[in-house]
Amino acid sequence: MEKSLCTLAAVIFLGGFFDAAQLTDDTTTEVHLLLNSTSTAASVTVQLQHHSTAKTTPTAAQKLHTTAVTTKKLHRKNISRDSEEENNGEKKPASKTDEKKTQLDCPPLGLESLRVDDSQIRASSSQRSGLGPHRGRLNIQSGISDGDLYDGAWCAAYKDQNQWLEVDAIYLTLFTGVVLQGKNSIWSWDWVHTYKVQLSNDSVTWKTCMNGTEEAIFEGNQNAWSPVLGVLPVPTVARFIRINPQTWYINGTVCLRAEILGCRVHDPGDSSEQDLGSKDPLDFRHHNYNEMRKFMKSVTKECPDITRIYTIGKSYTGLKLYVMEISDNPGKHELGEPEFRYVAGMHGNEALGRELVLNLMQYLCKEYKKGNQRVVRLVTDTRIHLLPSMNPDGYEEAYKKGSELAGWAEGRYSFEGIDLNSNFPDLNNIMWDAEEMAIDKSKVSNHYIPIPEYYTQEDAMVSPETRAVISWMEDIPFVLSANLHGGELVVSYPFDCTVGWAPQEDTPTADNAFFRWLATVYASTNLVMANPNRRLCHHEDFQVHNNIINGGAWHTVPGSMNDFSYMHTNCFEVTVELSCDKYPHASELPIEWENNKESLLVYMEQIHRGIKGVVRDKMTKQGISDAVIKVEDHDHDIRSAVDGDYWRLLNPGEYKVVVWAEGYFPSMRRCHVGMQPRATICDFTLTKTPLQRLKEIRAKGLKIPQDFLQLRLRALRLRKLRATTKVLNQRRVGQRMLQEERKARGA
């Protein structure tokens, strides 16, 4: 009976395992199968053949080796990373030891990504509900204070070796490893030094993972933040898995966060096993710097008529900041066509945004070629700029560790240790201080605020990446942008900085209504954010705010790119937190693309809301650059671009718009903005003032014409007439009020 069950299990395993995992070489590997009918673990030897599935292709940094461990004390992690040498384009030859190892590319079950539900996680005990088993997820973050419902780990109620954290995989799963991490807290240090792994098919009978003839002891953590991988000596098929701590930090308690690595065993008779990925034929994998360059070149080769690659600068280590332009006329600003940008990878370890931007490049290319009218319209009417990696140095650091081992902050900062998210000039407080000191606040500039002198010094702590992006912003008249981050599920909008740098305070802009609209557009179309039954990522419930929040109300960020973009240029920008998992496994990328695809497209389409037009000189018909476009009741102006064209994002409504430029009389007109995502054309023609015309004539050394002198005299007399009329009107009003006051007294 035992032999027949083993044979049946082996058949199930052979028939379906290859659809869930990639095997990188042909080798004979021992796999354990746990069977309910026997108290021992049956061992089966199977021949594993190479099988490739694009949707589960991990990065080289994520390939795990199954090893036979000889040490009897600790089973340490063993990771192999296949690195391709840039020189000669050859792969580094594997050692003889590596050739003997079988690589099982099993993805995480999804504790960090929340694919594993809270109901699938149990524990022997818990200190309190806020430290329950549902908090034992890799990289989960706690709130500022301990003791609430959202602490930073699972913590057992007792300090003994009988404690465990259990995960139900729901289906038979080939378990290959465990990733362990300590407790996230600023108040205490708690982590597990060593642990055992137990497996079961019924959650009643458990078998401890063996290292030869002894129970395997896995090495855990030496601090609270660094993830450590423990690889099972022999991959084992089961349904349940337990982590059983053996030793822990002497001054702490039994606390841990974890991820489980495993491949679901295919069952041909299980109708619930469906492909939850994407139908779009895109390159779903993590791309390091060299792979990203090759990928972008391949997109340009496929769609040369609508794409262009250019660089805006270099990182500290010399990696180029590549941008993909997508337009029907790449390389040129077309009059009246708005400029859009997506920026990803500001924090290098927040890798999802990088891959989504690369996916978007490929998607727009393929759909444009297919004649997808929505995409054709976007490409034709919009000049799109995509920067997939603002912090390539940080990304390369995180990439070396891989998706499960990079932790929460590995690669977040630039090579110099700078947080690029707060490395821009703080223009907010410059404006607020000027308003506070001014007698008339309306005279204080509310836009195009210049960069302060201290920021331009050579010794200023400004990263080369930030300098490059600022120069990019000033060169191109961007209208709309989004900054793609990760680690939460929310869209935040300016201001990010609060008055006086208060820790949390709602700090709206003059365009608060439109910013809220932009944030809502993305959040409401994101499949995860829009799900009312989704679990909190960490400890903040953004669903009470409909998954959007003012940046300052969340946490103050002086010197953010969003605020700088709004106050120094014409561009409106929001921050999108794309996923609970900053660096999702490659197998998650198709799902994440589907979650964000519609949001990425519909957000770009919002660039065509509001009004747009061209400001021209009445005499020459040439465009006027740097003209100020002021919308009544909106205390934030914008300016026209070099060719005189402008774009002002506005919600539907009627608006009084005044345009003026130096040396011209101002012009006013009323503009209507409809409900459709199509900008209303509001062109303006400005007439030069006589003084300006006189300056130009004198500058050219020409003779002042007689009719111009008469026109000048006429203008002066008209100005005097208006002034005297104003005085007379004021006098009449005063007399009328005096008469009414006398009548009131007489009554």
Q: CA-to-CA distance for 404 and 202, rounded, in angstroms?
A: 28
Q: CA-to-CA distance for 727 and 712, rounded, in angstroms?
A: 23
Is 577 a residue of the active site? Answer: yes
Label the pairing between strands 218-219 and 22-23: unpaired
End-to-end CA distance of the chain: 116
Which of 325, 367, 465, 577 does the annotation list as catalytic?
577
What token pair was written down for 505? Answer: 């305070």
- In degrees and rounded to multiples of 5, residue 374 shows phi and psi of -65, -45
Residues 6+ apart with CB under 8 A from 644: 614, 615, 616, 622, 623, 624, 625, 627
Q: CA-to-CA distance for 86 and 571, rounded, in angstroms?
A: 38
- In degrees and rounded to multiples of 5, residue 703 shows phi and psi of -80, 135
The alpha carbons of the chain give a radius of gyration, in whole angstroms, of 32
- In degrees and rounded to multiples of 5, residue 14 shows phi and psi of -65, -35
Query: For the CA atoms of 288, 293, 297, 299, what is the dihedral angle to 10 degrees?
Result: 40
* Degrees, nearest 5: CA angle 502-508-513: 160
Q: CA-to-CA distance for 162 and 159, rounded, in angstroms?
A: 9
Residues 6+ apart with CB under 8 A from 306: 326, 327, 328, 330, 364, 365, 368, 379
Note whether 309 and 324 are within 8 A (CB): yes
3-state secondary structure of 178: strand
Q: CA-to-CA distance for 88 and 325, rounded, in angstroms?
A: 30
Q: What is the helix (H) or strand (E) element at residue 20, kind and residue range?
A: helix 2-20
Residues 6+ apart with CB under 8 A from 75: 69, 211, 216, 217, 218, 219, 230, 231, 233
Note whether 112 and 137 are within 8 A (CB): yes
User: CA-based diameter of the chain, in Å?
Assistant: 118
Q: CA-to-CA distance for 97 and 697, rounded, in angstroms?
A: 85
- What are the angstrom distances between the C-alpha of 650 and each of 627, 677, 687? 18, 11, 26
Nearest to 232 by CA among 77, 365, 409: 77
The catalytic site residues sit at 577
